[in-house]
């Protein structure tokens, strides 16, 4: 009997303290999804044609017992799934998935049978579920953590369980794979020896402007995520913050059939967004500051007029009184010497702007 068959037969038994060290990945996919803390099971799934047959290729992959494993999933092309990911999906005792339906859809497309228990593990419950999953790791279970696309913890759930595992002295490893950040960086044509990843740009205009201004002196290549419904406004703010000439790339639908890389100056990319609005989530890669730009941005403090503009935007967007908005902005933006700007001066600048 194969290891996968033994595991299926013993699915309801207690996980042994000493687990498997090497297992054979069998191409098949799972039977039930159970949200952690509930007993409601998903509708059973049928086994795909050709799965777990003598002709199905197998790959021997080490499955670490008593370990949390973060595994990267395809970001658009299912062909990028590694044999290690398939083996982990088939053999992990517990699979903690950001979206269980998407997990089973991926398993179906890969022809992988998920033998272990599947639990929902997402932004809204990852902190509360982390210790329960780690309790299972302590008994010898392999807990696989996957997000909808890419590597867990990179703008996806996973950080909470990693931190708690470290605090509890439990092992954590990862099965690397597709990464939108690295793909975009490699395809951008911009320097890759030093870069910084900044996640999604802030949603609100005033916060986005403030955030981008803090990066004016950043010499490294800068990588952001952005969504299609915000890209036009964000590109306006990128242009205002960095100017028209810096090189950049807009990368969308990475690894998919309609993958597109737009390269040029910030002004070029902004115009292309206006002329041909991009669809799908995208990655923005912006060239770092030159020495002259970095030196010019060195003080890294806002003028009274800049604070007034931010306060006006904050008051309009958050629906707060202008005096409250000024207080917030002044507190968030200390001057170069560490002191705070005079609120009365900022208020007067607001009056001057409004005319």
Round to whole Å and give the CA distance between 158 and 166: 13
* pLDDT given for residue 339 in this prediction: 78
* pLDDT given for residue 36 in this prediction: 39
* pLDDT given for residue 332 in this prediction: 86
Low-confidence ranges of the chain (pLDDT < 50): 1-57
* pLDDT given for residue 300 in this prediction: 57
**pLDDT per position as a tens digit, 67-97:** 999 999 999 999 999 999 999 999 999 999 9
* pLDDT given for residue 55 in this prediction: 40
In order of 25, 56, 92, 155, 173, the CA distances from 62 in angstroms are 10, 19, 11, 27, 12
Round to whole Å and give the CA distance between 14 and 139: 9
Round to whole Å and give the CA distance between 260 and 279: 10
> Which single residue is written with the structure tokens 């597109």?
260
Burial class (CB in 10 A: 0-12, 13-18, 19+), 277: exposed
Instruction: Tell me if 205 sits within 8 A of 313, measured CB to CB.
Output: yes
Q: What residue ranges define each of the domains in the chain, with the CATH number in brackets?
A: 3-178 (3.40.1010.10), 181-296 (3.30.950.10), 304-354 (no CATH)
């Amino acid at each position: 009997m194969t290891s996968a068959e033994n595991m299926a037969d013993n699915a309801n038994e207690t996980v042994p303290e000493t687990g498997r060290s090497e297992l054979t990945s069998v191409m098949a996919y799972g039977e039930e999804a159970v949200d952690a803390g509930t007993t409601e099971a998903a509708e059973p799934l049928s086994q795909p044609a050709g799965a777990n047959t003598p002709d199905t290729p197998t790959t021997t992959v080490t499955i670490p017992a008593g370990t949390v494993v973060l595994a990267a999933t395809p970001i658009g092309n299912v062909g990028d799934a590694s044999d290690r990911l398939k083996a982990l999906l088939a053999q992990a005792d517990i699979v903690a998935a950001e979206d269980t339906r998407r997990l089973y859809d991926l398993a179906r497309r890969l022809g992988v049978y998920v033998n272990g228990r599947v639990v929902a593990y997402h932004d809204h419950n990852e902190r509360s579920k982390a210790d329960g999953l780690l309790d299972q790791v302590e008994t010898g279970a392999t807990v696989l953590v996957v997000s909808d696309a890419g590597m867990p913890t990179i703008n996806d759930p996973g950080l909470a369980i990693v931190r708690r595992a470290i605090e509890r002295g439990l092992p954590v490893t990862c099965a690397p794979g597709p990464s939108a950040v690295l793909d975009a960086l490699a395809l951008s044509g911009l320097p890759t020896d030093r870069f910084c990843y900044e996640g999604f740009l802030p949603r609100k205009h005033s916060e986005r402007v403030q955030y981008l201004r803090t990066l004016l002196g950043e010499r490294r290549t800068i990588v952001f995520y952005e969504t299609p419904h915000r890209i036009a406004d964000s590109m306006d703010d990128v242009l205002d913050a960095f100017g028209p000439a810096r090189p950049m790339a807009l990368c969308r639908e990475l690894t998919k059939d309609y993958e597109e890389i737009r390269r040029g100056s910030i002004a070029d990319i902004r115009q292309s967004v206006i002329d041909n609005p991009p669809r799908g989530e995208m990655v923005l890669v912006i060239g770092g500051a030159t020495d002259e730009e970095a030196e010019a941005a060195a003080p890294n403090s806002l003028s009274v007029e800049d604070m007034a503009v931010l306060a006006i935007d904050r008051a309009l967007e958050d629906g707060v009184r202008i005096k409250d908005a000024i207080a917030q902005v002044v507190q968030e933006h200390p001057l170069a010497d560490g002191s705070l700007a005079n609120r009365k001066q900022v208020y007067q600048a607001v009056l001057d702007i409004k005319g």
